[in-house]
Chains A and B, each alone.
Chain A
């Protein structure tokens, strides 16, 4: 039984990338928020890595720490009250947490870009869309206003906004939700970054528009061979686009797996519960499976495994010992590549 968290050589990287250093690697990251009511431990030792051209989906409910991890990677956490007591975020082997402010600024936006959930509140309502898109070129590349605007039109064309030249001087409120999200994607793509972090990019959109936006994102990812971290709570979206999945619960990764494996046989009771609570055709008229209880309060995370009060398999050991993320194996003992589970009873969950 290998304990993945302690092996530094990143066995979690997907099958697709070579054995060289991954594009981005998060190692044992902790984030906490100091509030009046106490210390909220939002992220408690997260490890993951993404290679070029690869899509990692981070799946979790609100409060699981998935967005906070992304903000820590981007360096846009509010500190204070946020604090990173330990951990490393390696971009091509360099630790971004120890590098200087200016150095980090050069990576942010140019090498790693982010797409936010709510496009309307992420765009400045008093500046034209073209000005906001051109800002990337003006600030990072030092282009003139005129050149930047020409580039902005090019970008809008790329994300398939009709009549880009005519609409470049429009304001965000003049665009529909799907179009605004395209502008957010265009902005993230502006400098052809190596990695894009998309934080619930389609949650605010309708299904038909969601399909358009996800297709666009996948197409552009292929074109530029970008790494993508997709943060979401939608199991359907994940199944459509991800290569590998990390499931988060109460600030920890509870399961990692390649996408095809996790839906077929989850190795953690939480993942299993989530999958079973999706309404299925043959269960019509019956009661849906529901995970009992509520997500934990981050100010007082349960001792041992954080999922134990809601878990149908919980034993005494779950209340006292935190299960490490261990390598999942076949019944015969053969290692399943890329699979890990942080459950004392993963064998029973996956094979039983």
Chain B
């Protein structure tokens, strides 16, 4: 599959150029060059800083007044390193899908920055933005609604080439699509079939092939296996791991199934109500969680082992997630937290390594947004 690899033509730029105004032609050239430049393995490829997305709540018909905002994402920061998989977990409504849409620039951020190879993609436009979009692709959750039922598989996978003709010249497209089908484990002769002729797992493979078409560097996977049957999930996860090695991809893997996230991720971030509660390597998060929410989440996961039924401690949270339109003051988790004190209502805990663990070499020394962060042993997802 050599032809699918990126041809690295642009070399005359340093990868970490900081903010560039995109108005004059010279800086556009510079931005595009920076975007095309390769990034070393292990270097940050995507840096998210204080990302905010508020959806306005309006009242009135003709003169819409803004009466509030749904704070879907409210100050999220993280890095994605080249070649790694960053898992993002959290309950529905915590803003993880909005983060995915922001990274794709499908939504415009209210505030904050997303640096892709040093370029702030929230401020890019035109040619530079198009170059970024080619390199960040997405695999959607529902393989039944994310494929157009009136297009053949060949048209679906080949559509990205219409927008980015430089990747595949016209005469070459059909062969490229067939290569892609082969890469994701589908018969290349299926090119003229329609989506309804495929099962859920096969459709998700088509979605993955479409994501791969433009040789992206980052793939954002929003719940890629949750709509699939148990026996098919493992097949798709294996495929994604294989493709990551083959094409040197970086994944942002959003899911609510904690055991699958653990299997595929190098690092894991836990979100709660628009904020990152805790982030660290998979072992740090799963074995030494310091944030009470992570601990509750892990303890709630049913373990497929009946002998563990009687002697494992389960933290059952009371109540529901508060509305993101009117989040609690201070720490957002305090309304459901068993450790909450006066301080939690007044002072918002920052995402940082807890002071008591700073400088220590324990696995607990990872970023956690809690005033009272401490390690608690919970029997988590196996």
Contact surface of A with B, Cβ cutoff 8 Å:
61-62, 176-179, 206-212, 214-215, 233-240, 242, 259-260, 263, 273-275, 277-281, 283-284, 287-292, 294-295
Q: How far is the CA of A69 from the CA of B162 in the complex (A)?
A: 48
Q: Tell me the residues in window 256-307 of chain B with beta carbons closer than 8 Å to chain A beta carbons.
A: 256, 258-260, 262-263, 282, 296-297, 300-307
Q: How far is the CA of A284 from the CA of B87 in the complex (A)?
A: 14
Min distance, Cβ A36 to any Cβ of chain B, angstroms: 15
Given contacts A212-B316, A237-B302, contact A277 B229 (CB under 8 A): no
A-B residue pairs, 10 tightest by C-beta? A236-B302, A279-B263, A290-B234, A277-B234, A211-B300, A206-B91, A291-B231, A61-B229, A235-B304, A288-B234
Q: Which residues of chain B are within 8 angstroms of A176 by Cβ–Cβ distance?
A: 320-321
Q: How far is the CA of A238 from the CA of B230 in the complex (A)?
A: 14
B188 at the interface (CB under 8 A from A): no
Q: Which residues of chain B are within 8 angstroms of A277 by Cβ–Cβ distance?
A: 230-231, 233-234
Asked whether A274 lies within 8 Å of B230 as measured between CB atoms, the reply is yes
Asked whether B301 lies within 8 Å of A289 as measured between CB atoms, the reply is no
Asked whether A207 lies within 8 Å of B231 as measured between CB atoms, the reply is no
B309 at the interface (CB under 8 A from A): yes
Min distance, Cβ B314 to any Cβ of chain A, angstroms: 7
Contact of B258 among A207, A211, A259, A287 (CB under 8 A): A207
Q: Is the interface of B mostly helix, strand, loop or mixed?
A: helix
Min distance, Cβ B38 to any Cβ of chain A, angstroms: 25
Contact of A210 among B231, B234, B300 (CB under 8 A): B300
Given contacts A179-B320, A208-B297, A212-B317, contact A273 B231 (CB under 8 A): yes
Contact of A263 among B199, B202, B256, B305 (CB under 8 A): B305
Asked whether B296 lies within 8 Å of A208 as measured between CB atoms, the reply is yes
Asked whether A287 lies within 8 Å of B302 as measured between CB atoms, the reply is no
Q: How far is the CA of A145 from the CA of B237 in the complex (A)?
A: 54
Asked whether B235 lies within 8 Å of A290 as measured between CB atoms, the reply is yes
Min distance, Cβ A255 to any Cβ of chain B, angstroms: 15
Q: Which residues of chain A are within 8 angstroms of B263 by Cβ–Cβ distance?
A: 279, 283-284, 288
Q: Which residues of chain B are within 8 angstroms of A287 by Cβ–Cβ distance?
A: 238, 241-242
Asked whether B238 lies within 8 Å of A290 as measured between CB atoms, the reply is yes
How many interface residues does B have (CB within 8 Å)?
42
Chain A residue nearest in CB terms to B241: A287
17 contacts between A and B (CB under 8 A): A61-B230, A61-B231, A206-B91, A207-B301, A212-B316, A238-B304, A239-B309, A240-B309, A274-B231, A277-B233, A277-B234, A278-B382, A279-B263, A281-B262, A284-B282, A287-B242, A291-B234
Interface centre among B231, B258, B259 (most CB of A within 10 A): B231
Q: Which residues of chain B are within 8 angstroms of A239 by Cβ–Cβ distance?
A: 302-306, 308-309
Q: Which residues of chain B are within 8 angstroms of A259 by Cβ–Cβ distance?
A: 306
B329 at the interface (CB under 8 A from A): no
Further contacts, 4 of them, CB under 8 A, given A260-B306, A294-B232: A207-B256, A239-B304, A278-B259, A291-B231
Q: Which residues of chain A are within 8 angstroms of B241 by Cβ–Cβ distance?
A: 287
Q: Tell me the residues in window 225-251 of chain B with beta carbons closer than 8 Å to chain A beta carbons.
A: 229-235, 237-238, 241-242
B14 at the interface (CB under 8 A from A): no
B328 at the interface (CB under 8 A from A): no
Given contacts A284-B263, A288-B238, contact A211 B201 (CB under 8 A): no
Chain A residue nearest in CB terms to B91: A206
Q: Which residues of chain A are within 8 angstroms of B297 by Cβ–Cβ distance?
A: 207-208
Contact of B316 among A215, A236, A274 (CB under 8 A): A215
Asked whether A278 lies within 8 Å of B262 as measured between CB atoms, the reply is no
Q: How far is the CA of A72 from the CA of B349 in the complex (A)?
A: 54
